[in-house]
């Protein structure tokens, strides 16, 4: 049996995990620098977890400055088999109220200026991203949430905005016209990079507000978000407890979406034309095919 080693990327409100045993701290230095914080390793219900707060200790890193490449590379180097992203989000739908948990299955990336790939000049690759989320992991997470009584919506499109400001009303209305479901600032390019690292990725977005498109109520502000975030975080910890209990009884086999082998046909630069220094950096996330 292949064992699960689940990487947990905690977003706003989830800065630590409770109930871990065999806890240790791991400092990882990646070719793309240091991750947001040292990794916390431990076991929950027999499953090995590797926790990383994406905003760093004390929420000191804004969305645009998160070292996304270092974060994903660190989790890969730490031996993670899968990644679960937990993040706060705004709702763009009336039927996704604050307190709702949305199991994201699609993304629209509206971020600007963030490094979106491990690959580049010297070694070019194009990974498939039509289905950016691992269907098996997402299903297991959704089932765990439902089992502990959380209001879970299976499926939804996450609009990734740059931030750190919240949307204008015109932007919020535009995204609703596009058919977006929730909005946040951190799941991209995180999901893209996880795919390049051949790590199955799933994202659960915890709704904290209605963004600013509704006529009723005030526009979103930090105080309102924090009030909902506290209860959402309690629910997230309950979900993780049930998820790890379930994973302890499930054999870890490759993702049915072929994620662990997505680089097999993705690298377009022939070996003779690859830059040795670039390849050296890439080995930590793509050594299987280099």
Residue with the bigger pLDDT between 181 and 18: it is 181
Mean pLDDT along residues 157-164: 97
181, 211, 218, 241: the catalytic one is 211
Cα 50 versus chain centre, distance: 13
pLDDT tens-digit readout, 188-217: 999 999 999 999 999 999 999 999 998 765
- pLDDT attached to residue 219: 62
Per the CB < 8 A criterion, the answer to whether 23 and 46 are in contact is: no
What's the CA gap between 190 and 222, in Å, rounded?
A: 23
Burial (0-12, 13-18, 19+ Cβ within 10 Å), 159: buried
The residue whose two tokens read 């054999």 is 251
Q: Looking at 96-100, 110-114, 220-224, which range is the least confident one?
A: 220-224
Residue with the bigger pLDDT between 229 and 25: it is 25
Q: Omega of the bond prior to 164 within 30 degrees of 0, cis?
A: yes
pLDDT tens-digit readout, 12-64: 667 678 788 999 999 999 999 999 999 999 999 999 999 999 999 888 999 99
Q: Kindly indicate the confidence band of residue 1, based on its pLDDT and cuts at 50, 70 and 90.
A: very low
List the structure tokens of 127: 């990974």
- pLDDT attached to residue 276: 97
- pLDDT attached to residue 227: 73
List the structure tokens of 38: 């040292």
User: How many CB atoms lie under 10 A from the CB of residue 69?
Assistant: 25
- pLDDT attached to residue 218: 57
- With 50 as the cut, is the pLDDT of residue 82 above it? yes
209, 218, 221, 264: the catalytic one is 209
Q: Give catalytic status of residue 211 as yes or no.
A: yes
Q: Kindly indicate the confidence band of residue 230, based on its pLDDT and cuts at 50, 70 and 90.
A: confident
Per the CB < 8 A criterion, the answer to whether 47 and 2 are in contact is: no
- Written in H, E and C, the secondary structure of the chain is CCCCEEEEEECCCCCCCCCCEEEEEECCCECCECCCCCEEEEEECCEEEEEEECCCCCCCCCHHHCCHHHHHHHHHHCCCCEEEEEEEEEECCCCCCCCCEEEECEEEECCCCCCCCCCECCECECCCCCCCCCHHHHHHHHHHHHHCCCCEEECCEEEECCCCCCCCHHHHHHHHHCCCCEEECCCCCHHHHHHHCCCCEEEEEEEEECCCCCCCCCCCCHHHHHHHHHHHHHHHHHHHHHHHHHHCCCCCCCCCCCHHHCCCCCECCCHHHCCHHHHHHHHHHHCCCC
Per the CB < 8 A criterion, the answer to whether 7 and 226 are in contact is: no
Per the CB < 8 A criterion, the answer to whether 125 and 119 are in contact is: yes
Per the CB < 8 A criterion, the answer to whether 11 and 261 are in contact is: no
- With 50 as the cut, is the pLDDT of residue 161 above it? yes
What's the CA gap between 116 and 196, in Å, rounded?
A: 10
Residue with the bigger pLDDT between 222 and 47: it is 47
pLDDT tens-digit readout, 164-176: 999 999 999 999 9
In the CATH scheme, what architecture does the domain 5-286 have?
A: 3-Layer(aba) Sandwich (3.40)
List the structure tokens of 245: 């209990």
């Amino acid at each position: 049996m292949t064992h699960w080693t689940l990487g947990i990327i905690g977003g706003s409100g989830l800065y630590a995990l409770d109930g871990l045993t065999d806890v240790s701290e791991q400092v990882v230095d990646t070719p793309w620098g240091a991750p947001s914080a040292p990794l916390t390793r431990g076991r929950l219900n027999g499953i090995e977890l590797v926790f990383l707060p994406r905003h760093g200790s004390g929420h000191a890193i804004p969305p645009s400055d998160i070292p996304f490449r270092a974060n994903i590379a660190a989790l890969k180097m730490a031996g993670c088999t899968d990644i679960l992203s937990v993040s706060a989000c705004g709702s763009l739908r009336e039927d996704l109220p604050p307190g709702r948990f949305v199991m994201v299955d699609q993304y629209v990336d509206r971020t600007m200026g963030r490094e979106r790939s491990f690959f580049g000049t010297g070694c070019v690759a194009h990974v498939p991203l039509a289905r950016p989320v691992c269907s098996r992991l997402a299903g297991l997470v959704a089932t765990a949430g439902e089992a502990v009584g959380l209001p879970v919506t299976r499926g939804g499109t996450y609009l990734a905005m740059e931030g750190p400001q919240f949307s204008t009303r015109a932007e919020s209305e535009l995204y609703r016209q596009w058919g977006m479901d929730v909005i946040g600032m951190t799941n991209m390019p995180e999901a893209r990079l996880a795919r390049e690292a051949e790590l199955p990725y799933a994202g659960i977005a915890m709704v904290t507000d209605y963004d600013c498109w509704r006529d009723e109520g005030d526009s979103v502000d930090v105080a309102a978000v924090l009030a909902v975030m506290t209860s959402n975080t309690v629910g997230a910890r309950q979900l993780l407890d049930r998820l790890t209990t379930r994973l302890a009884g499930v054999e870890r086999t490759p993702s049915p979406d072929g994620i662990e082998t997505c680089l097999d046909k993705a690298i377009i630069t022939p070996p003779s034309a690859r830059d040795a220094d670039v390849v050296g950096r890439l080995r930590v996330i793509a050594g299987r095919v280099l």
